Amino acid sequence: MKDFLSRWIALAVAAGVMVWLLPGMRPVGKPAALGVVAFALFMALLDASIKPTVQLLSLPLTFLTFGVFALVLNWLFMRLASWLAVSAFGVGVFIDGFWWSVLGSIIMAVVSGIVSSIISD
């Protein structure tokens, strides 16, 4: 449980930075931080539950497309987390398009890695 909470915190900070930096990512709901935290919750839940299995099953397709399909998977998981957050809590993060999610996933990977290394120490 401690690992999930630290992952959620790292993703919440990373999602906050992503929303702050990218104009194609907009928080939904008031206050905006609640939308970012709800989005990060569903990203953490998806990362912990079905994302590893889906990535493993799609590995042949990822190899055939030279990794481009991994971008599509990241986009789908970000859209799914956004939809789940808005559906469940009425707050979340709206993603304008595919390329914004690609940039957002890069920012989230870098920032969450930094935050995770700080938290784990």
What confidence score (pLDDT) does residue 121 get? 64
Query: Over the chain, what is the mean pLDDT?
Result: 90
Its pTM surpasses 0.75? yes
- Residues 87, 9 contacting (CB under 8 angstroms): no
- Cα–Cα distance measured from residue 107 to residue 99, given in angstroms and rounded to the nearest whole number: 12
Range of the domain at 20: 2-120
> What is the C-alpha separation between 48 and 25, in angstroms, rounded?
23
Helices 2-21, 32-48: inter-axial angle, 10-degree rounding = 130
pLDDT at 60 over 90: yes
Give CA torsion, residues 110, 118, 55, 80, to 10 deg. Answer: -70
Report pLDDT digits (tens) over 77-115. Answer: 999 999 999 999 899 999 998 899 889 988 988 999 899
Domain count, the chain: 1
